[in-house]
Amino acid sequence: MNKEAVSGATAGFMATITLHPLDVIKTRLQVQDLQIATKYNGTLHAFKTILKNEGARGLYAGLSPAVVGNTASWAMYFAFYDRARKRYEKASNDDGEVEKKKTKEKKSISSGETLLAAAEAGVCVSLLTNPIWVAKTRLALQERGGGGGME
């Protein structure tokens, strides 16, 4: 496994563990039906309500697929991006073979090629991880009983 994939996996894991409660709150705020009844009146109210009614576990609803999805997504993204960038660098340097021999310098890729490498990586990751995000969203919407004991 290359160092880019390991770096991406680590970043994805840490970001998920840290920020997942905000993702749960965001998801629940987005799907509440405002015409029937408003359960949450904003981010802080949602945080307090979930904590009171479901405990800390409620803030981490759907964590497993989120950890798997983000860890895998960032690992794949970094790896795909690195491969695409190297492919563009090789193509750039192969085009200037004569110049490269004179200067013994590698040409860096252009901004457009950087954008293309990032887009390629993003499309690949989106196609491969979409089912994980569907599962994560469904699990994040499930309310858990048990209360948190915090008033």
* Per-residue model confidence as pLDDT tens digits over 26-81: 988 988 876 577 788 899 999 999 999 999 999 998 898 889 889 999 999 999 99
- At which residue do the structure tokens 């919407």 appear? 141
Please count the residues of the chain. 151
- pLDDT at position 17 is 95
Helices within 41-110 (DSSP H only): 43-54, 56-59, 63-95, 97-103
Assess whether pLDDT exceeds 50 at residue 151. no
Across 8-22, 48-62, 82-96, least confident range: 82-96
Percent of the chain with pLDDT over 70: 83
- At which residue do the structure tokens 């390629």 appear? 120
Cβ pair 108, 89 in contact under 8 A: yes
Measured CA to CA, the distance from residue 11 to residue 130 in angstroms comes to: 19
User: Is 39 exposed, middle or buried, given 0-12, 13-18 or 19+ CB atoms closer than 10 A?
Assistant: middle
